[in-house]
Amino acid sequence: MAKILVCATNKGGEGKTTTSINLAEYASLILKKRVLLIDLDPQANLSGRYIAMDYDPAYKSGKIPPIHADYDAEQDEQWDGRSSIANIFYGEEAVPYPTSIEHLELLPAHSQKLLEAEAVTKNEVLEKVHMQLKYFVELPDLQKGYDLVIIDTPPSKGPLTIAAIKAATHLIIPAQMEQFSIEGIYGMLQLWKQESYKRSKATPITLVGILPNKYRDINLHREFLEELCMMPGIGSYVLPNPIKVRAVYSEILVEGARPKSIFELKKSHIAREECETICREILNKVLDHG
C-alpha cells in the first residue's frame, strides 16, 4: 500500500512546503522510492519548484499548470492539456507531471480551481471536497504506481486541509518554536484527534510528529521547545531533532540555483547531514521496510 503523508498546519510559513520538498527528494533521490507530490495549496509554491507554472489569464496572480507533455490536441478533445490536483474536485482526470528528479512526479496546484473548490456550500462540502482526495489516493493505479504520496496543504483548516487529512495515513506538523506557531499546533492536534476517532483500527492516521523548524539556539526557542516536550499528550510527539534555520533551504528554491537540492550538497555538509537525519527518522516511521 502506498503511504500518504500530509504536511499540515493552519499557521503560514512554518515549513510545510519545505518539509514536503525535503522528504520527497530524500525518498526519491536517496531511498529510490516512487514518490508523488501533491500541491493542494492555491499559492502553488511547491508546483513552481518542479515545473514552470503559467499565469492564469483569467485571474491576476493565479497560477495554472503548463500544457502536459502527453497532451495531443487532436486526440484529447475533452482535455485542455493542463492537469492539476484540483481536477479531482470537478470529476476530471488528474495526470501527474514528471520532474527532473527520477522517481519523483508532481500533481500541481491550480490556484483558482482550488479556491473555488473550497467555496462549495456546507451541504456539498463533504462529498464534493472532503472525500475526493481519499477516493483519488485509493485508486488502484495510484496505489500500484507509488510507494509514497506527499501532500502539501494551504495554511488553513479549511476544506482542502480536511480533505488531505481524510486521505492521510500519516501526518506531520511543522512548527516554529514561537507563540503563534505553538497555538497552531494545538489546532492541528485537534483536527488529528477528531479524524482519529472516526477511523477504524485497520486504517489509522498516524501522527508522525511535530517537527520544530527554523530553530535557533536562543532562549525563546529553547524554552518553547522544552515546554512543548513536557506537555502531557503532546511532548511525546515532538521529534527529537529540530530543523535549524539555514539560508540554504531558501537558496535552493531560487531559479537556476546550484545545487538545486539539499541532497546534492556534499555528504559532509552540515545542512545535508542534518536534513538527512531528520528525513530518515521521519520516513522510517512512514515507509514499510521489508
Ligand X SMILES: Nc1ncnc2c1ncn2[C@@H]1O[C@H](COP(=O)(O)OP(=O)(O)OP(=O)(O)O)[C@@H](O)[C@H]1O
16 near Mg ion, rule: CB under 5 A: yes
SS3 content of the chain, % helix, strand, coil (to 5): 45, 15, 40
DSSP-based three-state secondary structure for 106: strand
User: 187 near 10, Cβ under 8 Å?
Assistant: yes
Q: Which does 181 bind (CB under 5 to 8 A by kind): Mg ion, ligand X, none?
A: none
17 near Mg ion, rule: CB under 5 A: yes
| C-beta closer to ligand X: residue 44 or 125 | 44
18 near ligand X, rule: CB under 6 A: yes
Phi, psi of 124 (to 5 degrees): -95, -15
What is the per-residue binding string for ligand X in 21-60, x denoting contact by CB under 6 A? Answer: --------------------x-x-x---------------
Q: Select the residue whose beta carbon is closest to Mg ion and give its number.
A: 17
Q: Which does 250 bind (CB under 5 to 8 A by kind): Mg ion, ligand X, none?
A: ligand X
Q: Kindly list the distances between the CA atom of residue 103 and the CA atoms of 32, 148, 213, 249, 270, in Å, as whole numbers in the listed order.
A: 7, 10, 27, 22, 26
The residue ranges of DSSP E strands in 112-222, in sequence order, are 148-152, 170-176, 206-213
Among 190, 203, 236, 250, binds ligand X (CB under 6 A): 250
Nearest distance from residue 114's CB to ligand X, in Å? 13
User: 60 near 110, Cβ under 8 Å?
Assistant: no
Q: Which does 245 bind (CB under 5 to 8 A by kind): Mg ion, ligand X, none?
A: ligand X
Kindly list the residues in this chain that would bind ligand X in the complex (CB under 6 A). 12-18, 41, 43, 45, 155, 213-214, 243, 245-246, 249-250, 253
